[in-house]
Protein backbone atom coordinates (compact mmCIF):
# COMPACT_ATOMS: atom_id res chain seq x y z
CA UNK A 1 0.00 0.00 0.00
CA UNK A 2 2.91 2.34 0.65
CA UNK A 3 4.20 1.88 -2.89
CA UNK A 4 0.76 2.64 -4.31
CA UNK A 5 0.50 5.75 -2.17
CA UNK A 6 3.95 6.88 -3.26
CA UNK A 7 3.10 6.34 -6.93
CA UNK A 8 -0.14 8.28 -6.65
CA UNK A 9 0.34 11.85 -8.00
CA UNK A 10 -0.35 14.71 -5.64
CA UNK A 11 -3.15 17.06 -6.65
CA UNK A 12 -2.09 20.67 -7.04
CA UNK A 13 -5.60 22.10 -7.38
CA UNK A 14 -8.98 21.64 -5.75
CA UNK A 15 -10.43 20.42 -9.06
CA UNK A 16 -10.84 16.82 -7.85
CA UNK A 17 -13.26 18.10 -5.20
CA UNK A 18 -15.78 18.63 -7.99
CA UNK A 19 -16.47 14.91 -7.71
CA UNK A 20 -18.23 15.68 -4.42
CA UNK A 21 -20.98 17.66 -6.17
CA UNK A 22 -23.25 14.61 -6.73
CA UNK A 23 -22.96 13.76 -3.04
CA UNK A 24 -23.73 17.33 -1.97
CA UNK A 25 -26.75 17.73 -4.24
CA UNK A 26 -29.21 15.88 -1.94
CA UNK A 27 -28.26 18.26 0.88
CA UNK A 28 -28.32 21.56 -1.01
CA UNK A 29 -30.79 23.01 1.50
CA UNK A 30 -28.43 22.32 4.41
CA UNK A 31 -25.54 23.70 2.34
CA UNK A 32 -27.43 26.95 1.71
CA UNK A 33 -28.24 27.26 5.43
CA UNK A 34 -24.57 26.67 6.31
CA UNK A 35 -23.43 29.37 3.87
CA UNK A 36 -26.05 31.78 5.22
CA UNK A 37 -24.93 31.09 8.78
CA UNK A 38 -21.32 31.62 7.69
CA UNK A 39 -22.13 35.02 6.16
CA UNK A 40 -24.16 36.16 9.17
CA UNK A 41 -21.47 35.01 11.63
CA UNK A 42 -18.75 36.78 9.62
CA UNK A 43 -20.81 39.97 9.45
CA UNK A 44 -21.50 39.84 13.19
CA UNK A 45 -17.81 39.32 13.94
CA UNK A 46 -16.86 42.29 11.76
CA UNK A 47 -19.50 44.43 13.49
CA UNK A 48 -18.08 43.79 16.97
CA UNK A 49 -15.30 46.45 16.72
CA UNK A 50 -17.83 48.96 15.37
CA UNK A 51 -20.26 48.24 18.19
CA UNK A 52 -17.45 48.59 20.73
CA UNK A 53 -16.40 51.90 19.19
CA UNK A 54 -19.91 53.32 19.46
CA UNK A 55 -20.17 51.99 23.01
CA UNK A 56 -17.01 53.86 24.04
CA UNK A 57 -17.40 57.02 21.95
CA UNK A 58 -21.14 57.61 22.19
CA UNK A 59 -22.19 55.55 25.19
CA UNK A 60 -19.59 56.07 27.89
CA UNK A 61 -18.90 59.67 26.91
CA UNK A 62 -22.58 60.65 27.20
CA UNK A 63 -22.70 59.83 30.93
CA UNK A 64 -26.31 58.81 30.43
CA UNK A 65 -27.42 55.47 31.81
CA UNK A 66 -30.03 54.93 29.11
CA UNK A 67 -27.56 55.68 26.31
CA UNK A 68 -24.91 53.40 27.81
CA UNK A 69 -27.47 50.61 28.19
CA UNK A 70 -28.59 51.06 24.58
CA UNK A 71 -25.09 50.75 23.10
CA UNK A 72 -24.16 47.96 25.51
CA UNK A 73 -27.24 45.96 24.48
CA UNK A 74 -26.30 46.50 20.83
CA UNK A 75 -22.78 45.22 21.53
CA UNK A 76 -24.15 42.16 23.34
CA UNK A 77 -26.58 41.52 20.48
CA UNK A 78 -23.72 41.50 17.96
CA UNK A 79 -21.68 39.17 20.18
CA UNK A 80 -24.66 36.89 20.71
CA UNK A 81 -25.44 36.76 16.98
CA UNK A 82 -21.83 35.85 16.26
CA UNK A 83 -21.86 33.04 18.82
CA UNK A 84 -25.21 31.58 17.73
CA UNK A 85 -24.56 31.64 13.98
CA UNK A 86 -20.95 30.46 14.36
CA UNK A 87 -22.19 27.46 16.35
CA UNK A 88 -24.96 26.86 13.80
CA UNK A 89 -22.45 27.02 10.94
CA UNK A 90 -20.15 24.53 12.68
CA UNK A 91 -23.02 22.13 13.40
CA UNK A 92 -24.39 22.25 9.85
CA UNK A 93 -20.97 21.83 8.23
CA UNK A 94 -20.06 18.93 10.52
CA UNK A 95 -23.42 17.22 9.91
CA UNK A 96 -23.09 17.75 6.15
CA UNK A 97 -19.55 16.35 6.08
CA UNK A 98 -20.57 13.25 8.01
CA UNK A 99 -23.55 12.59 5.74
CA UNK A 100 -21.47 13.05 2.58
CA UNK A 101 -18.76 10.72 3.90
CA UNK A 102 -21.39 8.12 4.86
CA UNK A 103 -22.84 8.25 1.32
CA UNK A 104 -19.36 7.99 -0.19
CA UNK A 105 -18.51 4.96 1.92
CA UNK A 106 -21.77 3.29 0.91
CA UNK A 107 -21.05 3.99 -2.77
CA UNK A 108 -17.48 2.69 -2.51
CA UNK A 109 -18.59 -0.42 -0.64
CA UNK A 110 -21.34 -1.12 -3.17
CA UNK A 111 -18.75 -0.76 -5.93
CA UNK A 112 -16.17 -2.98 -4.23
CA UNK A 113 -18.47 -5.93 -3.54
CA UNK A 114 -19.37 -6.04 -7.25
CA UNK A 115 -15.76 -6.21 -8.43
CA UNK A 116 -14.38 -9.33 -10.12
CA UNK A 117 -12.36 -11.78 -8.00
CA UNK A 118 -9.29 -10.83 -10.06
CA UNK A 119 -9.47 -7.36 -8.53
CA UNK A 120 -8.93 -8.76 -5.02
CA UNK A 121 -6.02 -10.88 -6.26
CA UNK A 122 -4.21 -7.74 -7.42
CA UNK A 123 -5.35 -5.19 -4.84
CA UNK A 124 -4.46 -5.63 -1.20
CA UNK A 125 -7.23 -5.74 1.37
CA UNK A 126 -5.54 -2.99 3.39
CA UNK A 127 -5.70 -0.62 0.43
CA UNK A 128 -9.42 -1.26 0.00
CA UNK A 129 -10.00 -0.61 3.69
CA UNK A 130 -7.94 2.57 3.41
CA UNK A 131 -10.29 3.85 0.72
CA UNK A 132 -13.27 3.17 2.97
CA UNK A 133 -11.82 4.76 6.10
CA UNK A 134 -8.75 6.99 5.80
CA UNK A 135 -9.46 8.56 2.40
CA UNK A 136 -13.09 9.35 3.16
CA UNK A 137 -12.15 10.81 6.54
CA UNK A 138 -9.59 13.03 4.80
CA UNK A 139 -12.27 14.20 2.37
CA UNK A 140 -14.53 14.99 5.32
CA UNK A 141 -11.87 17.13 7.01
CA UNK A 142 -10.96 18.98 3.81
CA UNK A 143 -14.37 19.50 2.24
CA UNK A 144 -16.15 20.03 5.54
CA UNK A 145 -14.66 21.97 8.42
CA UNK A 146 -11.44 23.07 6.70
CA UNK A 147 -13.25 24.51 3.68
CA UNK A 148 -15.66 26.33 5.98
CA UNK A 149 -12.78 27.81 7.97
CA UNK A 150 -11.09 28.92 4.74
CA UNK A 151 -14.26 30.67 3.54
CA UNK A 152 -14.74 32.32 6.93
CA UNK A 153 -11.15 33.55 6.99
CA UNK A 154 -11.41 34.87 3.43
CA UNK A 155 -14.60 36.79 4.21
CA UNK A 156 -13.08 38.15 7.40
CA UNK A 157 -9.90 39.32 5.66
CA UNK A 158 -11.79 40.98 2.81
CA UNK A 159 -14.26 42.64 5.17
CA UNK A 160 -11.46 43.84 7.45
CA UNK A 161 -9.58 45.37 4.51
CA UNK A 162 -12.74 47.14 3.34
CA UNK A 163 -13.39 48.52 6.83
CA UNK A 164 -9.75 49.56 7.10
CA UNK A 165 -9.92 51.29 3.71
CA UNK A 166 -12.97 53.25 4.83
CA UNK A 167 -11.10 54.29 7.97
CA UNK A 168 -7.70 55.11 6.46
CA UNK A 169 -6.46 54.53 2.92
CA UNK A 170 -2.84 55.17 3.97
CA UNK A 171 -2.97 52.51 6.67
CA UNK A 172 -4.62 50.11 4.22
CA UNK A 173 -1.80 50.60 1.71
CA UNK A 174 0.80 49.95 4.42
CA UNK A 175 -0.96 46.73 5.47
CA UNK A 176 -1.23 45.51 1.87
CA UNK A 177 2.52 45.99 1.47
CA UNK A 178 3.49 44.46 4.82
CA UNK A 179 1.26 41.36 4.74
CA UNK A 180 3.03 39.72 1.74
CA UNK A 181 6.42 40.49 3.30
CA UNK A 182 5.35 38.64 6.46
CA UNK A 183 3.46 35.77 4.85
CA UNK A 184 5.96 34.95 2.07
CA UNK A 185 8.77 33.75 4.40
CA UNK A 186 6.25 31.62 6.31
CA UNK A 187 5.11 29.95 3.07
CA UNK A 188 8.70 29.31 2.00
CA UNK A 189 9.55 27.87 5.42
CA UNK A 190 6.48 25.62 5.36
CA UNK A 191 7.44 24.36 1.90
CA UNK A 192 10.98 23.61 3.09
CA UNK A 193 9.66 21.69 6.09
CA UNK A 194 7.27 19.73 3.86
CA UNK A 195 10.15 18.68 1.59
CA UNK A 196 12.18 17.47 4.58
CA UNK A 197 11.98 13.65 4.60
CA UNK A 198 9.48 12.39 7.13
CA UNK A 199 11.71 9.41 7.86
CA UNK A 200 14.42 11.69 9.24
CA UNK A 201 11.93 13.57 11.39
CA UNK A 202 10.66 10.31 12.87
CA UNK A 203 14.04 8.59 13.21
CA UNK A 204 15.58 11.19 15.50
CA UNK A 205 13.40 10.51 18.61
CA UNK A 206 13.25 6.75 17.99
CA UNK A 207 16.38 5.78 20.02
CA UNK A 208 15.25 7.84 22.99
CA UNK A 209 11.78 6.31 22.85
CA UNK A 210 13.30 2.85 22.66
CA UNK A 211 15.48 3.45 25.73
CA UNK A 212 12.51 4.87 27.62
CA UNK A 213 10.44 1.80 26.81
CA UNK A 214 13.21 -0.45 28.14
Vertex 118: Cα angle to 117 and 123 (nearest 5): 100
Could you give the percent of the chain with pLDDT greater than 70? 79
pLDDT band at residue 16 under the 50/70/90 scheme: low
Confidence of residue 12 (pLDDT cuts 50, 70, 90): low
Prediction pTM value: 0.69
Question: Do the beta carbons of residue 23 and residue 95 sit within 8 Å?
Answer: no
- Residue 24: Cβ-neighbour burial (10 angstroms; 0-12, 13-18, 19+): middle
93 neighbors 34 (Cβ within 8 angstroms)? yes
Q: Can you give the length of the chain in residues?
A: 214
Q: Give the pLDDT confidence score for residue 138 in this predicted structure.
A: 74
pLDDT of residue 196: 63
Q: Please check whether residue 52 is in contact with residue 75, taking contact to mean a CB–CB distance below 8 angstroms.
A: yes
- The DSSP-derived string for 112-166 is HTTS-HHHHHHS-HHHHHHIIIIIHHHHHIIIIIIHHHHHHHHHHHHHHHHHHHH
pLDDT tens column, 76-111: 999 999 999 999 998 988 888 888 888 888 887 788
CA separation for the pair 39, 88 (Å, rounded): 12
Amino acid sequence: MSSASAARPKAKTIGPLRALVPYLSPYRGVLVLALAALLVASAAMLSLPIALRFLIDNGLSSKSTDTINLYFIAFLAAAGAFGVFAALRFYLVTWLGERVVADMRSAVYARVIRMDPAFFEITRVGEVLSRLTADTTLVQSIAGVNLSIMLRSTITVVGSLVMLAVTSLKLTAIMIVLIPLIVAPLILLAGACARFPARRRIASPTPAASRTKR
